[in-house]
Amino acid sequence: MSSFKDTLKKIKRDHPKPNATIWDCLITMFINPSYNVLFNYRLGQYWYTSNFRIFKLMASRMRMKLIFKRNCDISYLAKIGEKLKLVHPVGVVIGESEIGDNVIIFQNVTLGSDGKKGKEKSYPKIKDNAIIYSNAVILGGITIGHNAIVAASSVVNIDVPDNMVAIGVPCKIVEKS
């Protein structure tokens, strides 16, 4: 479990303005839906990993609020790097995935398990600087490489190498033009 001080540092680093104060973070939380989701995720993850039952209950309540109010579901077991940008956080579902730094995710994106029976559930790994456009579905223990792009409405079930683009249903890998 990370300390509360580490959680505050992560919250400040997620802020769009460099060197933001805690006051800036609180104000931005009320006016920026993307930052609000990240703020709630960071705080909820801290509470969820706490040893105190009341904090775990508060985290559960915060997650339900995100689902009902923002229509966004992010697992507290997900590992999210710095500066994740949720352009329109509506409909975003993130399972126990690993997301790198400076990733951009648009609306209605799903990062989930493939749900195959008999195997341990595996979730996608998104590397630094990747962009995932609207309605993309990324399933299973696959990797989206550094600077890769997942096109809108693509279903990704294979690895996407660094600096490549995944397009279509099922996806095909093409070079960036």
Above 60 in pLDDT, residue 1? no
Q: Is 147 left (phi over 0), alpha (psi -120 to 50) or beta?
A: left
**Structure confidence at residue 156 (pLDDT):** 95
Q: Choosing from 88, 91, 135, 157, which is the catalytic residue?
A: 88
Checking if the pLDDT of 50 tops 70, the result is yes
How many domains, in total, are found in the chain?
Answer: 2
Residues 99 and 166 in one domain: yes
Range of the domain at 48: 1-70
Q: Which of 20, 36, 70 is the last residue of a domain?
A: 70
3-class secondary structure, 172 = strand
| pLDDT attached to residue 139 | 92
CA distance 67 to 86: 15
User: For residue range 99-150, what is the model confidence (pLDDT) as tens digits?
Assistant: 999 999 999 999 998 877 666 778 999 999 999 999 999 998 999 999 999 9
pTM of the model as a whole = 0.90
Which of the listed residues 22, 48, 70 is the one where a domain comes to its end? 70
Q: Mark whether 88 is an active-site residue.
A: yes
State how far the Cα of 138 lies from the Cα of 55, in Å rounded to an integer. 31
